[in-house]
Amino acid sequence: MAPRPSQLRPHCLARERLIKWRPVCPRTTAPHLSEEDLVRIFRVLSFSFCNIRNIPDDAHCPASPDIISSFLATMAGNYASGTLSNYLHGIRAWHILHGLPWLVNEAETTALMTAAIHLQPPLSRRKPRLPYTCDTLGTLLHHLDLSLPLDATVAACLTTTFYSAARLGEFTLANLGCFDPDVRDRNNLEQTMFFIPKTKTNVHGEDVFWATQSGPSDPQALLDNHFKINNPPLSQPIFSYTCNGKLRPLTKSAFLARLHKAFKEAKLKPLQGHGIHIGSTLEYLLRGIPFDVVKTIGRWKSDAFILYL
């Protein structure tokens, strides 16, 4: 479903709509947001809803409470409540960006969003992630060649992420171009192994840690092996490996691709990356560590992880 062509709404990528789509009556004063600020605001739902109902452009914005309520009521039952919430906040961000009043009845909107939770499609709910276990780690490590740069890095990253109860995205990169060497720890040191400068829930960074383990999944031994094989400099991500004579940061996709190959060789069904965080939480609970302590170690902001266990 594409929006109707309009000079106010040129065809562009979804992430560009907040900036490129304009209201009929734009703000007369200069915006206080820089271009960098605008780029950070990511996406907004298209105006196809208004097109289908033949709502004129001048009624699109500021959107009336009736239009927003109709939009939410129409989408409820077709999308997950989280998706619908993202759409609503995207529309609100578009109003703020262009200096338009947000006229929504908050009480009515809250009631509609609550109803949407009960109406969301069953298939929109994510299935609980299956957890990694110590046995899973041992099996995967058996199918990795620790003398190879990539495998040495994957093994060290896997066990460090697991035993520190960290999120996979905290020790891997989304892509090869997103590493920022200027993001340092609180002491401005070049590299601190267990201090993550910026995390999903804390822009100021958080500490993670693990203890030496007995058995083949000992993170200390595998980290030492990684340093011996790859020897990444302090200016590079800790989990970098040699590829075609050059040092390459370990991306999440490369990490999971190698693990999925190991899963296949072991004749096991591949597990998702989030299962590492879930599995480490379960492992520490099974070791008799108190619930609240495990919650702190895993840096869970709520009790949501109970759903996975």
What string of pLDDT tens digits covers the 309 residues of the chain? 556 666 666 777 765 665 566 665 555 444 444 545 444 443 334 455 666 667 666 666 677 777 777 777 777 777 777 777 888 887 787 777 777 788 787 888 888 788 777 777 665 556 666 889 999 999 999 999 999 999 999 999 999 999 988 888 878 877 666 555 555 444 443 333 465 566 666 666 666 777 888 889 999 999 999 999 999 987 888 899 999 889 999 999 999 999 999 999 999 999 988 888 888 888 888 888 887 777 777 777 766 666 655
What residues does 77 pair with on adjacent strands? none
Q: Compute the distance between CA of residue 134 and CA of residue 159 in angstroms, rounded to an integer.
A: 9
β-strand partners of 6:
9
CA separation for the pair 79, 112 (Å, rounded): 13
Backbone region of residue 226 per phi and psi (left: phi > 0; alpha: psi in -120 to 50; beta: other values):
alpha
Q: Assign a CATH topology to domain 134-308.
A: hpI Integrase; Chain A (1.10.443)
| Residue carrying the six token digits 């239009």 | 67
pTM over 0.75: no
Q: Please list the residue range(s) of the chain that carry CATH number 1.10.150.
A: 14-124
What is the CATH architecture assignment of 14-124? Orthogonal Bundle (1.10)
Domain with CATH 1.10.443.10 in the chain: 134-308
pLDDT given at position 121: 65
Angle at the Cα of 57 from the Cα atoms of 53 and 59, rounded to 5 degrees: 75
Q: Tell me how far apart the alpha carbons of residues 266 and 256 are, in angstroms, rounded to a whole number.
A: 15
Q: Do 131 and 87 contact (CB within 8 A), yes or no?
A: no
